[in-house]
């Protein structure tokens, strides 16, 4: 059965190791129940989750049965950490609901008992080759150990350390462990895939491929194998074990300090930014390669591969290199920045090319996909359309599909007894107060600092609210930067000291996460949710809040949502939320006031519509639509791949030729009839053979023969001067010289005054680029312009300049109905409304003009070799489909993805050979005057 391989950095499940009962392993530092009540802490503003219910009053919350049990079992309680409350599972059902925005990171959840990383300290960002340096340090250490006569660890063939006499390895040997739902990774993704599940597991025919989410070097090989077996057999998950050094360099370094900030618009021009350093790139590649290798190993013909998120941008291409025909989708969960920001990445080209290995690339919104398209166009100088990217011989589709939540399971979770208990507790605790809730990762992109400043401003400006409002800010993350923590801490202290009274504290700031049960209760009880992210791919907390706000357990519901306009959810929700610009503190303070004072009718009306969106744009809907998009893209890709398009059957062509009466041939010149010209501009091949073949073809009065080209009319006339009656289509369809007419007369479809106008404007742009790019030049044709750079020495720079040039022309000259298209080592600028297709239609219509005593062809051959010929293939195929022409042969010469019905892989020689076979058939036919075509306008000066 075909499977979907869902490839994501972290698997939906992880492993928890258990301590021997006699010697309970204490996480540091163990907390006694009493300690929980006192708000702890290393920052002046940090409070324990318990103090959420303790602020401003002495009443501790009732202990849930789970917590009581934990205290009884283990004798301690770690505030805010209760693994069992991180997810919801139906009894006997291994599919649990995870919190969508998990915010937990690799090896730092603090929830489970798991090994620590052996990656060692991170080197300075200025060290260019971290890997080399790291290896040297390790070797040196090993030498020293050997000298001291200690045992030395040896890497296993997989790069992991073998089980050995070290204390931690012994520590995990034989230790019992259980599989638990992961608390890190992308909960929204897991929920969405599970929502589509028809069976009781992780999705119909889904195999997850990923890591366990914690450092595994310390695990003995046999333990690793047991875990891998268990996850594969019982949880449809294929574990990838990467070296701790690799994951550390990949995730902690490359993903978190370089990609994450840049993808969220943190321009790396800060002096402390590490985005310039490429020492972690090697690890990013290593981990991506390990994922790609596993995908290739797990893949079976017919499977679908879905790769997720910014951690694995290189995987699609790495897999494509090994599995050229695989169906590969890629979805980016984060934002995608504008090309101006993306171009700061030193590895930008590799990253884009990595993604482009997929058949389909999905984004959360149109904003991100258009940034991606523009980035490809500018940095890779490839042709892009609203549907995707044209690369060499194939097309990569691009789509927008916003992810959602699983409202049904979420609703079930809200019924949970413990959630209801927390709802009551919080209501009781904050009686008479209006609660603004927020849960964000404490990093630079989630705008916690900006939100707190705005809240402070609000309190300063609206003293009437001081005693009535409480903001509960849950600030998750363990890797937050110290400077940010200090700033945030200062703001919290200021708010506290200025606005708190003996009886009231307007800010509860929790620098730690809370349980899922508490989280749902908090969203249920909230009067307002405030999200002020500077960027966020989607932000499903907003969805979860809307789902909670239907009044269960509380009376004053349908609370407004204050939502940063820089989130994916804001694009989805529009003005139904109260949009804010997180940089505009006054605007944010006004939004808080507006939300707090919003009338019931308005609240309800907005919520109704928001709720309808959350209910319909669910995670399952997202997954299903993406699947449809990928199937469609793949089918198109596959149908038109050079391997799938059959070879031209010359015998069939001859048969149909024999039985036909009126035949039309439209044949491209360079690359089809003759090989492409050399760099010196002289067409290769044997022009004599071409001319002779065409001459013979035209000798049969049943045949009408056109040659088409991008070249100027006078160039074609010159090339074909010995065939004065051949029909000619010049400049990709802007000019037509009718077949069968001795004198040189051309029909032109374009308005030459219009052409002169746009050329003037475009020439100025091209000159700008020409000045900056040595070796480039402008070529002018009658209806088109070329910016050519094949002679430029620095081709990388040339591609970049060409990309920017395309972008600028397409952006600024839209109204003139022209477009710039990147082609091989050049940019072509031409009018949108004319193509080889429009010219072919003109030729065909003229032939069918019954008023002139003509009748339509019953046999047609259209041959070409590149992108510009696709439009004429499509047109001719359509005539075939509709049955307007009895026998249509659309043929592409060479190996490329095409919409033509057949290919001729032997190039122009093959085409000439086929035509010569037809000429043999005609050899005996009596010549007679068959076409007597009317002449048209004269050749334009
Ligand atoms: O922190 P990471 O381990 O690198 O993971 C990144 C985040 O992934 C998830 O968020 C992303 O996907 C969400 C669902 O599509 C989307 O709402 C969000 O905007 C994306 O950033 C995960 O939910 C976060 O907790 C992770 O931080």
Residue 27 confidence (pLDDT): 39
pLDDT at 402 over 70: yes
Percent share of the chain, pLDDT over 70: 80
Model pLDDT, residue 415:
86
364 Cα nearest atom in ligand 1: 15
Separation of CA 851 and ligand 1 centre (Å): 67
Q: Give residues with Cβ within 8 angstroms of 927, minimum separation 6.
A: 699, 700, 701
Residue 55 has pLDDT above 60, yes or no: no
pLDDT of residue 279: 79
Q: Whose CA is nearest to atom 5 of ligand 1?
A: 185
Ligand 1 mean position, distance from CA 100 (Å): 8
940 has pLDDT over 80: no
- Residue ranges lining ligand 1, Cβ < 6 Å: 100-103, 105, 186-188, 255, 333-334, 403, 536-540
Whether 371 has a pLDDT exceeding 80, the answer reads yes
Fold of 413-617: Rossmann fold (3.40.50)
Tell me which residue has its CA closest to atom 9 in ligand 1: 186
What b/e string do you get for 562-599 counting C-beta neighbours within 10 Å, with b at 16 or more?
Answer: bbbebbbbbbbbeebbbbbebeebeebbbbbeebbebe
- List of residues 6+ apart from 279 with CB closer than 8 A: 123, 125, 127, 128, 129, 130, 131, 249, 253
Return the HEC string of 742-784.
CCCCCEECCCHHHHHHHHHHHHHHHHHHHHHCCCCEEEECCCE
> Does residue 19 or residue 756 have the better pLDDT?
756
Ligand 1 centroid to 754 CA: how many Å? Answer: 50
**Pocket-testing residue among 98, 307, 537, ligand 1, by greatest number of atoms within 8 A of Cβ:** 537
Please say whether the dihedral angle defined by the alpha carbons of residues 923, 929, 934 and 938, taken in this order, is positive or negative.
positive
Atom nearest to 184 CA in ligand 1? 3
Atom of ligand 1 nearest to the CA of 311: 4
**pTM for this one?**
0.82
Distance 151 CA to ligand 1 centre (A): 42
At the topology level, CATH places domain 650-749+834-924 in Rossmann fold (3.40.50)
Answer whether residue 31 shows pLDDT above 50. no
> Confidence band (pLDDT; 50, 70, 90) for 740?
confident
Per-residue pLDDT at 290: 98
Taking residues 327-342, report their average pLDDT. Answer: 96
Question: Cα 18 vs. chain centroid, distance in angstroms?
Answer: 39
Residue with the bigger pLDDT between 478 and 111: it is 111
| Per-chain mean pLDDT for the chain | 84
Gap from CA of 536 to ligand 1 centroid (Å):
8
Residue nearest to atom 11 of ligand 1 (CA): 333
Residue 569's pLDDT band (boundaries 50, 70, 90)?
Answer: very high
Lowest mean pLDDT among 425-439, 579-593, 916-930: 916-930
User: 856 or 678: which carries more pLDDT confidence?
Assistant: 856
Predicted confidence band at 267 (pLDDT cuts at 50, 70, 90)? confident
The token pair that represents 393 in the structure block: 């011989």
526-539 per-position pLDDT tens digit: 999 999 999 999 99
In the chain, where the domains are located: 413-617, 650-749+834-924, 752-831
Is the confidence at residue 737, as pLDDT, over 80?
Answer: yes
Whether residue 802 contacts residue 788, with contact meaning beta carbons closer than 8 Å, is answered with no
Residue 16's CB is within 10 A of a number of other CB atoms, namely 15
- SS3 annotation, 553-567: CCCCCCCCEEEECCE
CB burial of 367-398 (b: ≥16 within 10 Å; e: otherwise) equals: bbbbbbbbbbbbbbbbbbeeebbbbebbbbbb
322-343 average pLDDT score: 96
Mean pLDDT over residues 237-248, rounded?
96
Q: Which atom of ligand 1 is nearest to the CA of 255?
A: 4
User: Mean pLDDT throughout 276-286?
Assistant: 83
Confidence at residue 894, expressed as pLDDT on a 0 to 100 scale: 85
Locus of tokens 């620095």 = 794
- Range name among 309-318, 555-564, 723-732 with the lowest pLDDT average: 555-564
So what's the pLDDT on residue 94?
54
Mean pLDDT across the stretch 489-513? 93
Q: Which residue's alpha carbon is at the smallest distance from atom 3 of ligand 1? A: 185
Report the top-level CATH class of 752-831. alpha beta
At residue 234, the pLDDT reads 92
Tokens of 41: 């802490």
d(CA 405, ligand 1 centre) in Å: 13
**pLDDT(356) > 80:** yes
pLDDT at 95: 62
Taking the centre of ligand 1 as the mean of its atom positions, its distance from the CA of residue 566, in whole angstroms, is: 15
3-state secondary structure of 385: strand
What is the residue with the minimal CA distance to atom 27 of ligand 1?
A: 103
From the alpha carbon of 536, which atom of ligand 1 is closest?
19
CA 532/CA 514 separation, integer angstroms: 20
Centre of ligand 1 to C-alpha 771, Å, is 44
ipTM over 0.95: yes
Give me the mean pLDDT over the 404-417 stretch. Answer: 90
CA-closest residue to ligand 1 atom 8: 186
> What number does the ligand 1 atom closest to the CA of 403 have?
15
Q: Which of 99-103, 385-389, 676-680 has the lowest mean pLDDT?
A: 676-680
| Of 97, 107, 188, 516, best ligand 1 pocket probe by most atoms within 8 Å of the beta carbon | 188
The string of pLDDT tens digits covering residues 885-928 is 999 999 999 888 899 999 998 888 999 999 999 999 988 665 54
- pLDDT recorded at residue 101: 83
Q: Which tokens hold the place of 884?
A: 């307007």
Going by pLDDT thresholds of 50, 70 and 90, the confidence category of residue 476 is: confident
Please report the pLDDT score of residue 60 as a whole number: 37
Tell me how far the alpha carbon of residue 309 lies from the centroid of ligand 1, in angstroms. 8
Calculate how far, in angstroms, residue 445's C-alpha sits from the geometric centre of ligand 1.
12
Say what the pLDDT of residue 348 is: 94
Q: How far is the CA of 591 from the centre of ligand 1 (A)?
A: 26
| CATH topology agreement for domains 650-749+834-924 and 752-831 | no
């Amino acid at each position: 059965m075909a499977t979907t391989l869902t490839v994501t950095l972290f698997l939906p499940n992880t492993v928890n190791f258990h301590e021997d009962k006699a010697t309970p392993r204490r996480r540091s530092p163990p907390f006694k129940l009493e300690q929980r009540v006192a708000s702890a802490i290393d920052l002046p503003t940090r409070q324990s989750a318990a103090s959420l219910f303790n602020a401003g009053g002495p009443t501790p919350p009732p202990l849930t049965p789970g917590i009581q049990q934990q205290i009884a079992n283990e004798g301690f309680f770690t505030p805010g950490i209760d693994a069992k409350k991180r997810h919801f599972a139906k009894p006997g059902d291994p599919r649990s609901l995870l919190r969508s925005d998990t915010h937990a990171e690799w090896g730092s959840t603090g929830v489970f008992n798991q090994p620590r990383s052996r990656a060692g300290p991170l080197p300075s960002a200025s060290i260019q080759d971290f890997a080399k340096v790291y290896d040297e340090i390790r070797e040196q250490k090993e030498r020293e150990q050997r000298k001291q006569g200690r045992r030395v660890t040896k890497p296993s063939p997989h790069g992991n350390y073998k089980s050995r006499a070290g204390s931690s390895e012994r520590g995990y040997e034989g230790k019992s462990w259980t599989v638990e739902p992961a608390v890190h990774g992308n909960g929204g993704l897991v929920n969405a895939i599970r929502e589509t599940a028809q069976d009781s597991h992780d999705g119909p025919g889904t195999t997850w491929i990923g890591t366990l989410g914690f450092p595994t070097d310390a695990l003995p090989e046999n333990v690793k194998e047991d875990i891998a077996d268990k996850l594969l057999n019982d949880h449809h998950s294929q574990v990838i074990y990467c070296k701790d050094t690799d994951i550390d360099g990949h995730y902690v370094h490359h993903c978190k300090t370089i990609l994450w900030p840049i993808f969220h618009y943190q321009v790396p021009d800060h002096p402390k930014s590490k985005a310039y350093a490429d020492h972690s790139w090697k690890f990013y590649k290593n981990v991506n390669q390990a994922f790609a290798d596993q995908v290739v190993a797990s893949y079976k013909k017919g499977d679908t591969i879905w790769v997720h998120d910014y951690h694995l941008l290189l995987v699609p291409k790495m897999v494509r290199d090994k599995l050229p025909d695989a169906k590969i989708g890629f979805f980016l969960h984060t934002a995608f920045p504008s090309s101006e920001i993306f171009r700061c990445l030193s590895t930008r080209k590799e990253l884009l090319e990595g993604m482009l290995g997929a058949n389909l690339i999905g984004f959360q919104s149109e904003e991100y996909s258009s940034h991606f398209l523009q980035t490809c166009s500018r940095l890779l100088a490839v042709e892009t359309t609203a549907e995707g990217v044209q690369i060499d011989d194939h097309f990569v589709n691009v789509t927008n599909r916003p992810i959602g939540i699983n409202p049904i399971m979420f609703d079930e979770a809200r019924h949970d007894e413990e959630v209801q208990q927390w709802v009551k507790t919080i209501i009781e605790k904050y009686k008479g107060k209006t609660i603004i809730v927020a849960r964000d990762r404490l990093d630079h992109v989630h705008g916690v600092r900006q939100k707190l400043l705005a809240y402070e401003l609000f309190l300063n400006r609206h003293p009437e609210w001081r005693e009535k409002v409480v903001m509960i800010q849950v600030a998750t993350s363990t890797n937050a930067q110290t400077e940010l923590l200090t700033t945030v801490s200062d703001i919290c202290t200021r708010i506290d000291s200025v606005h708190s009274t003996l009886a009231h504290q307007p800010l509860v700031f929790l620098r730690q996460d809370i349980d899922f049960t508490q989280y749902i209760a908090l969203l249920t009880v909230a009067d307002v949710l405030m999200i002020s992210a500077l960027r966020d791919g989607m932000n499903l907390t907003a969805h979860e809040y809307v789902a909670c706000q239907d009044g269960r357990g509380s009376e004053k519901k349908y609370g407004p949502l204050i939502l940063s306009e820089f989130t994916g959810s804001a694009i989805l929700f529009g003005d139904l939320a109260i949009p804010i610009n997180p940089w505009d503190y006054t605007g944010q303070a006004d939004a808080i006031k507006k939300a707090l004072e919003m009338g019931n009718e308005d609240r309800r009306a907005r919520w109704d519509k928001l709720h309808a969106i959350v209910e319909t744009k669910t995670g399952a809907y997202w997954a299903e639509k993406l699947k449809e998009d990928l199937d469609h893209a793949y089918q198109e890709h596959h149908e038109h791949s050079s391997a799938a398009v059959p070879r031209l059957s010359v015998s069939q062509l001859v048969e149909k030729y024999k039985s036909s009466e009126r035949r039309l041939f439209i044949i491209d010149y360079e690359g089809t009839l003759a090989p492409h010209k050399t760099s010196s501009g002289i067409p290769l091949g044997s022009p004599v053979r071409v001319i002779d073949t065409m001459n013979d073809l035209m000798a049969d009065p049943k045949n009408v023969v056109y040659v088409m080209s991008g070249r100027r009319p006078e160039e074609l006339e010159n090339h074909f001067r010995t065939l004065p009656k051949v029909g000619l289509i010049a400049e990709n369809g802007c000019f037509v010289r009718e077949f069968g007419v001795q004198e040189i007369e051309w029909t032109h479809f374009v308005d030459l005054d219009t052409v002169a106008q746009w050329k003037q404007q475009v020439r100025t742009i091209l000159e700008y680029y020409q000045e900056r790019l040595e070796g480039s030049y402008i070529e002018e044709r009658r209806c088109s312009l070329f910016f050519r750079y094949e002679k430029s020495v620095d081709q990388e720079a040339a591609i970049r300049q060409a990309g920017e040039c395309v972008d600028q022309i397409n952006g600024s000259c839209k109204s003139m109905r022209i477009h710039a298209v990147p082609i091989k080592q050049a940019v072509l600028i031409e009018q949108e409304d004319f193509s080889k297709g429009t010219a072919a239609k003109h030729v065909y219509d003229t032939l069918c003009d019954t008023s002139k005593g003509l009748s339509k062809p019953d046999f047609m051959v259209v041959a070409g070799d590149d992108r510009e010929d696709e439009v004429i293939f499509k047109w001719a195929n359509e005539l075939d489909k509709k049955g307007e022409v009895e026998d249509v042969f659309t043929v592409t010469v060479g190996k490329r993805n095409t919409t033509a019905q057949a290919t001729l892989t032997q190039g122009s020689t093959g085409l000439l050979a086929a035509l010569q076979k037809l000429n043999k058939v005609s050899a005996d036919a009596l010549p007679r005057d068959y076409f007597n075509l009317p002449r048209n306008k004269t050749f334009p000066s």
